[in-house]
Amino acid sequence: MKKIVVLGSINVDTILNIARLPLPGETMAMRDRSVAGGGKGANQAIAAVRAGAETSFISKVGKDHASDFMMDTFKNDNLNVDHVTEDEKAGTGKAYILLDEKGQNSILVYGGANQTITAEDIHEAEESISAADCVIAQFETPIPATIEMFKIARKNGVTTILNPAPANGDIPKELLENTDIITPNEIEAEAITGVKVTDVDSMKAASEEFHKLGVKTVIITVGSKGSFYSLVDNKYGFVNAFKVKAVDTTAAGDTFIGYLAANLNKDLSNLEEAMTIASKASSFTVQVQGAQNSIPYKKQVKL
């Protein structure tokens, strides 16, 4: 069984169902409202554990009811939360998701306790990081903590996966130099490399920029089209998405990354197969409204 450590955010998502995004100054009625567990880190950790990996999570919550709600969710999935700690002052993270009738979303995030994670918290989890097959991080928690985790992972031969989301065009060189696999979507790829991603040629061009920055493996996800990969030895390819009717795209990318990590061999010998499984898992996620509740279990994801 793969051992995975995820560093990342915990958010309680409030989902607001609307016909379309409002115009500036416009007041609109909502069609519905619901609450679910979210946060890119938590989503990816749950995806990894549901994909069959032994998964540990590094994060922070506040001392509030939202924390209780999230911790109960984690325990139900047997996610290891030994390194999820409480912050004395900040509240548990929150996200407000505007979801239109086409399944597309816009998200507003309150970072809260997610923004208080430090390098010291990473050192508390050093034993788990060193024993892992793979570690994963995103940009909803402080970058210095991610750099520290990736440095510990690299020192111990552990694969590092960076999901550069939300988009950030100013990534420290030290982080990229310690990243084995980077997984941007087309918007994030453009923000980092300056290359507008529209087709395979532009995906290759963006990937070359990542390789120049020191990242050996690039996977660019392009929503309902699929995902592109590029290796530093000039091998590349494209994996088509599974065609389904999308209800809500929230957590689709997170599901992809969790399933990818849980299925990928260290030598990348099964890269296309792992990407295909991850894509299949994501196709289940987009058919259900919500984040963590929409992430499928391994037994559902059959090729």
254 in catalytic set: yes
Choosing from 72, 121, 254, 267, which is the catalytic residue? 254
- Residue 202, CB-side half-sphere exposure with 13 Å CA sphere: 14
Tokens of 183: 């997984």
| Alpha helix positions (H), the chain | 40-50, 65-76, 119-124, 126-130, 143-155, 173-177, 186-193, 200-212, 252-263, 271-285
Which H or E run contains 97? strand 93-99
Annotated binding-site ranges for K(+): 248, 250, 285, 288, 290, 294
CA distance 96 to 224: 23
Annotated binding-site ranges for ATP: 185, 221-226, 253-254
Tokens of 43: 């989503």
Contact 61, 35 (CB under 8 A): no
Amino acid at the residue 250: T
Work out the burial of residue 189: count CB atoms within 10 Å of its CB; fewer than 13 is exposed, 13-18 middle, 19 or more buried: buried
Catalytic residues: 254
